[in-house]
Amino acid sequence: MASIEIFFCYAREDEALVNQLKRHLIPLQRQRLIDIWYDRDISAGTEWELEIKEHLNSAQIILLLVSPDFMASDYCYGVEMRRALERHEQKEVRVIPVILRPVYWQIPSLHKLQALPLDAKPVVSSSWHYQDEAFFNVTEGTRIVAVKVMSSLTPSSLTLPIKPSEPEPTETPANVLQQQAVKPDPLVTPEDFSWLCIGTLTGHKGSVDIVAISPDGQMLSSGSEDQTIKLWNLKTGDLLRTPTVYEHLVLSVAISADEQTLASGSYDHTIKQWKRNDLILYSHPALGKSTFLTGRINISLTSHWCVWSGIRPQWKLHRNG
């Protein structure tokens, strides 16, 4: 499958910061997850406005690189951003504001979008020890969105290869005996791979990023960009509980084998643990604050250990109880 195309919408005054961000995104390009396009890719002799329009309409992710110069630019603000938000409303593209420099950007059309870096802290600000730290945060947030977009483009149906026809052999007694001794394999059809939707759970106000089903198949836990965890009864479809405990999107959930413990991780770098009592969840003290964004979470079969990973190849282990 082709890479996810990312369009940079930026003001020329921010080109130095844009080039830094581009360098941070190169590892994602080398993994063929993304392909970046911006106006510096326009070749000589090309009608630049038509080419910008073409890529603005074909990109799957658009990064609005917000700064005072961006907000003051009639072309960035009035042409590129307007078209990006139109496509976003039509669910054709994911638009991500990236706050490069401090500026008032909380206009209705932008403020409703989840911005990067974390907490919309500008890249150029005292909130970061180094600018690389801010760009790393933007890169990881972009990677998460690109993976979601990529998965949504993955074909859900299986296409079986068609076996070319072979010339029919001449009928002989030996052929007849062989046909009687060996039964042909049954024909596999696409219908054998079909799935039937038996129910739809609704209630999250943002996209659902992670789900986990209890070992007995009775409960399902879901985490969402609406910053909530929901616990469902799979038999009835009833919503059992909605702990609202995070200030950012939920990245991971896990249910223990004895179905008494639920662990969750968030974009805010925290891991929380919950204990079940008659289908009522109550918060345990946070297991800790990860240095990096919380990735996957698992609970041991004995429910004595909780293990989680950050976005870098490292794991942390915590003893429950």
Q: Please report how many Cα atoms fall inside a 13 Å half-sphere around the Cα of residue 218, on the Cβ side.
A: 7
Q: Which of 274, 199, 260, 259 is nearest to 229 (CA)?
A: 274
What pLDDT, on the 0 to 100 scale, is given for residue 94? 94
288 confidence band (pLDDT: 50, 70, 90): low
Residues in the chain: 321
Q: What is the mean pLDDT of the chain?
A: 76
Residue 3 and residue 12 in contact, taking contact as beta carbons nearer than 8 Å: no
What pLDDT, on the 0 to 100 scale, is given for residue 164? 47
- Rounded to an integer, what distance in angstroms lies between the CA atom of residue 209 and that of residue 223? 6
Q: Assess whether the previous peptide bond of 117 is cis (omega < 30° from 0).
A: yes
Res 317 pLDDT > 90: no
What pLDDT, on the 0 to 100 scale, is given for residue 226? 79
What is the percent of the chain where pLDDT is above 70? Answer: 67
- Rounded to an integer, what distance in angstroms lies between the CA atom of residue 102 and that of residue 111? 14
Res 292 pLDDT > 60: no
Alpha carbon dihedral 69, 74, 77, 78, in 10-degree steps, equals 180
Res 157 pLDDT > 50: no
Res 254 pLDDT > 60: yes
- For the segment 280-305, the average pLDDT, to the nearest whole number, is 56
Look at strands 219-224 and 229-233 and give their pairing.
antiparallel
**Per-residue pLDDT tens for 20-50?**
999 999 999 998 899 998 877 666 666 778 8
Residue listed under structure tokens 């002989």: 172
Look at strands 305-310 and 94-99 and give their pairing.
unpaired
Residue 226 and residue 209 in contact, taking contact as beta carbons nearer than 8 Å: no
What pLDDT, on the 0 to 100 scale, is given for residue 309? 56
The CA-atom distances, in angstroms, between 61 and each of 76, 108, 143, 187 are 16, 20, 11, 42
Contacts of 180 (CB under 8 A, 6+ apart): none
More confident residue, 267 or 152: 152
| Amino acid occupying residue 216 | D
Res 206 pLDDT > 90: no
Residue 67 and residue 11 in contact, taking contact as beta carbons nearer than 8 Å: yes
Q: Which residues pair with 232 in a beta bridge?
A: 220, 239
What pLDDT, on the 0 to 100 scale, is given for residue 142? 94
- Rounded to an integer, what distance in angstroms lies between the CA atom of residue 260 and that of residue 281? 9
What pLDDT, on the 0 to 100 scale, is given for residue 9? 92
286 confidence band (pLDDT: 50, 70, 90): very low
- Rounded to an integer, what distance in angstroms lies between the CA atom of residue 64 and that of residue 7? 9
- For the segment 120-146, the average pLDDT, to the nearest whole number, is 93
More confident residue, 265 or 222: 222
**Per-residue pLDDT tens for 51-101?**
888 888 999 999 999 999 999 999 899 899 999 999 999 999 999 999 999
